[in-house]
Amino acid sequence: MERLLDLSGFYPDEEREIEGNYSFPLPECFDVQGDVNTSFNGNVKFDGTAYVISADVQSEFFVECARCLKKIPNRLDFSVKEVYNKDDAEDRIDFFEIIVTSFISEKPLRHLCDESCKGLCPICGKDLNSSTCDCIKTNSPFSDEDIKLLKHTFK
């Protein structure tokens, strides 16, 4: 799929279908591992004064669990809708940029492999979902009474 949508040659009340796939990497700060694979389908409508571009987008990508750091597959479905005034619109619109910008704004900041993920031990680094450790009990500066008091306080 070409990055640019050609808006030239539309007649009033004309509608054209669009569909395709994009695969793109994101900078490391977005916590996505590997490429984001997207597919979309939608349409471009011209009502005589404005172009309305709308599409449903499905994206698949890998992220790390925020607690245990496991690589997990993820899927994000979202819709895009852009309106361009005929007088202000270029003959070609960068649809790829619309998809990437929308993906970035729709993507959650944090991902979990499971809502009940226990994460990693902050002392030894063991994955507490698959094994246990005694680090917290043996290395804690708090006594059992302190912990009971805290639990009672935050009920």
Instruction: Give tens-digit pLDDT for 23-62.
Output: 999 888 888 999 999 999 999 999 988 999 999 999 999 9
User: What are the distances in angstroms from CA 109 to CA 32, 67, 96, 106, 154?
Assistant: 11, 13, 22, 9, 27
- What are the domain boundaries of the chain? 4-114, 118-155
- Most confidently modeled range among 42-46, 129-133, 150-154: 42-46
Closest CA to 82 of 104, 106, 61, 101: 101
- Tokens describing residue 129: 């979902």
User: What are the distances in angstroms from CA 39 to CA 43, 55, 122, 134?
Assistant: 14, 10, 39, 47
Distance CA 55, CA 53 (A): 7
Q: What is the mean pLDDT of residues 56-82?
A: 96
Distance CA 123, CA 126 (A): 8
pLDDT tier at 138, thresholds 50, 70, 90: low
Q: What is the mean pLDDT of residues 145-150?
A: 73
DSSP per-residue codes, 63-106? EE-TTT--EEEEEEEEEEEEEEETTT--SEEEHHHHHHHHHHHH
